[in-house]
Amino acid sequence: MTGRGEVTTGPLAVGQFVSMVKRTLSHEPMFQRQAIKGEVSQWKPYASGHTYFTLRDDEGQISAVIWKGRCSIHPSIKEGSEVVVTANLDLYVKRGNIQLVVERIEPVNTLGAMEEARRQLVERLANEGELDRERHQPPFAPKHIAIVTGEGSAALSDMQRLIDNRWPGLRRTVIGVLVQGDRAAEEIVRALALTRRLANPRTAALRGEPPVDLVIVGRGGGSPEDLWAFNLEPVVRAILASPVPVVSAVGHESDLLVSDLVADIRASTPSNAIERSVPIRAELEQWLDETDERLNLATLRTFGDARRQLIALHARLKVAPLAGINSGKRSMLALQSKLNRATEAMFAHERTRIVGLEASLHSIHPQRVLERGYAMTQTADGEVITNASMLTVGQRFNLQFVDGAAEAAVTEIHTTEE
């Protein structure tokens, strides 16, 4: 600071004094590169390229200047805009005016107002009890998933790939929408309205498919503005209106949107939505096979016990006195008929299994095998020759190729020794 001595030696020249003030101001870190929020007034872009304005709020105001080309000015900034500036405090010595020299200027009205609207929406939903409403239980194995997301987006192809890994051929309806920008909310709402129609059994029957039983709505990561549609009331209300479970899958792990707060399942990412709602089919099949085997084994064990009992009864009956014979015989016959019925039931079950196996065998068409360069040998009667021992020297037989047949004769037979 300037010493007291200067004051006592006589009056200071005003210019000198103002320069001293300027120096002091410019050395104060609080006044340099400070972020300040306020409203723009008297916005005046000059022909010189400089822009002058006043930054104000209800408590105070200060002049500000943006030197030509110093920073980019968002086109939405105008009289009355809420802005945040980063500026250095300066004093124009010639006039004794204090002003802000702006290094950066950004509109805040949009994001600020959006944040506020979001806060109010969450508060309203909380008051209505929507945030802790009872959630729909998602199906363990969905039969028809509807996905509402960006058309051709990376998030969509991630989800598709993941579904195909977990459950190839799982029925799904993808509704491509805009997921950011002014029209995103409206399109998401319309798409969710379609999922409600697809979840209606009557509409589904018209289309010849099961009703939608799970809805995934989401998009990949982006800036808060990009994701904002998922914070808007119409989208949130459309999620709440869904008769079937809705998975909200927006952005990355750290993004929490209002859609996440109201959905039946909050997935951290689109891929996570698939992991949480689509089981791995091969695992289910394996479980079913194992359970089938356990069911048969456990039942057979009980029958085995009964069979042994039957044999014992039979033996005792042979040596029993006449009086005991009738009752003994009756219980033996009863046991016998139960065993027969049980055996029949098991055979019936096994038969359907075998029929199923046959069907899958048929689907491996011989044509496919022939196309790979194999030929099928058949006797003149059309019987398939499966091993060399079926042939005799001199016998004529047919060779079936993919595009026709040839007749051949056996000249020699070599059988493979074990």
Nearer to another protein, 133 or 301 (CB): 301
Q: In the complex, what is the shortest distance from the CB of residue 223 to another protein, in angstroms, rounded to a whole number?
A: 23
Scan residues 326-365 and list those touching another protein (CB under 8 A): 335, 338-339, 341-342, 345-346, 349, 352, 356
197 binds another protein (CB under 8 A): yes
Helical (H) or strand (E) element with 342? helix 322-363
Nearer to another protein, 344 or 383 (CB): 344
Please give the backbone phi and psi of residue 170, each rounded to the nearest 5 degrees, phi first. Answer: -60, 130
Near another protein by CB under 8 A: residue from 295, 311, 357, 406: 295
The angle that helices 322-363 and 281-319 make with each other, rounded to 10 degrees, is 160
The amino acid sitting at 359 is A
Q: In the complex, what is the shortest distance from the CB of residue 131 to another protein, in angstroms, rounded to a whole number?
A: 27
Nearer to another protein, 169 or 404 (CB): 169
Q: In the complex, what is the shortest distance from the CB of residue 181 to another protein, in angstroms, rounded to a whole number?
A: 14
Near another protein by CB under 8 A: residue from 203, 271, 377, 400: 203
Q: How far apart are CA 126 and CA 189, in angstroms?
A: 21
Residues in the chain: 418
Distances (CA, A) of 406 to 392, 396, 400: 18, 11, 7
122 binds another protein (CB under 8 A): no
Q: How many CB atoms lie within 10 A of CB 298?
A: 9
Nearer to another protein, 123 or 290 (CB): 290
Scan residues 153-182 and list those touching another protein (CB under 8 A): 167, 169-177
Near another protein by CB under 8 A: residue from 90, 121, 144, 238: 144
Q: How far apart are CA 168 and CA 187, in angstroms?
A: 29
Near another protein by CB under 8 A: residue from 284, 405, 408, 409: 284
Residue 141 makes CB contacts below 8 A (sequence gap 6+) with 279, 284
Helical (H) or strand (E) element with 83? strand 82-92
# residues contacting another protein (CB under 8 A): 53
With the C-alpha atoms ordered 314, 315, 316, 317, is the resulting torsion angle positive or negative? positive
Helical (H) or strand (E) element with 343? helix 322-363
Nearer to another protein, 237 or 349 (CB): 349
Q: How far apart are CA 104 and CA 92, in angstroms?
A: 20
Residue 78 makes CB contacts below 8 A (sequence gap 6+) with 40, 43
Nearer to another protein, 12 or 170 (CB): 170
298 binds another protein (CB under 8 A): yes
Q: Which pairing describes strands 61-66 and 51-56: parallel, antiparallel, or unpaired?
A: antiparallel
206 binds another protein (CB under 8 A): yes
Task: Single out the segment in contact with another protein by CB under 8 A; choices: 23-31, 134-142, 365-373, 405-413.
Answer: 134-142
266 binds another protein (CB under 8 A): no
Which of 266, 257, 259, 212 lies closest to 238 in space, CA to CA?
A: 259
Nearer to another protein, 44 or 353 (CB): 353
232-116-76 Cα angle (round to 5): 85
Q: In the complex, what is the shortest distance from the CB of residue 148 to another protein, in angstroms, rounded to a whole number?
A: 9
Task: Single out the segment in contact with another protein by CB under 8 A; choices: 29-37, 262-270, 298-306, 396-404.
Answer: 298-306
Q: How far apart are CA 23 and CA 25, in angstroms?
A: 5
299 binds another protein (CB under 8 A): yes
Q: In the complex, what is the shortest distance from the CB of residue 358 to another protein, in angstroms, rounded to a whole number?
A: 15
Q: Which residues in this chain contact another protein in the complex, by CB under 8 A? A: 139-144, 151, 167, 169-177, 187, 190-191, 194, 197-198, 203, 206-207, 209-210, 281, 284-285, 287-288, 291-292, 294-295, 298-299, 301-303, 306, 335, 338-339, 341-342, 345-346, 349, 352, 356
